[in-house]
Structure 1
Amino acid sequence: MKRVALCVALIGVVICLITGCKFKDPSIPGHSGKPMLSFKKVEGITFTEVRRQQNGLSFNEYGYHLSPDWRLRFVSSDSVALYSPVKKRFLNFPLSCGIDSVFNTNRSFLRMKHMSKDSLVFELLEAKDDSLDIRGTKVYMLFYADNYIKNVLHTNAATLQRSNRKDSLFVKQLIKRADSSLTNAFAALTPVRLTSTRSSITVKKKKTIADFLLNNYNTSDDYMNPVYNITINKADSDFDYAFSAYVDKEGKLIYNTPITPFTEGRYKQRYVRLSKAIMNTYLKLYVKVQPGQTLGVPHTTLISLYLHGKKS
Structure 2
Amino acid sequence: MTRVLVSGGTGFVGRFIVEHLIEHGYDVVIGGRTRAAPDFFSKPVDFAPMSLDPDIDASAAFEAIDSFVHAAFQHVAGRYRGGEGNDPEGFRRANLDGSLHLFRTARDRGVRRCVFLSSRAVYGASAPGAELAEDMLCQPENLYGELKLKAEGALGALSADAFRTISLRVTGVYGAAGVGATHKWQQLFSDYLEGRGVAPRAGTEVHGDDVAAAVRLALETDHRHLHPPVLNVSDLLVDNRTILAIVRDVTGCANALPEPAALADFNAMNTERIRALGWKPGGAARLRQTIENLLA
Q: TM > 0.5 between the two?
A: no
Greater relative CO, 1 or 2 (CA 8 Å, sep 6+): 2
Q: Which has the higher strand share?
A: 1
Measured against the shorter chain, the TM-score band is: under 0.3
Q: State TM-score, norm by structure 1.
A: 0.25
Larger radius of gyration: 1
Write 1 or 2 for the structure with the bigger share of helix: 2
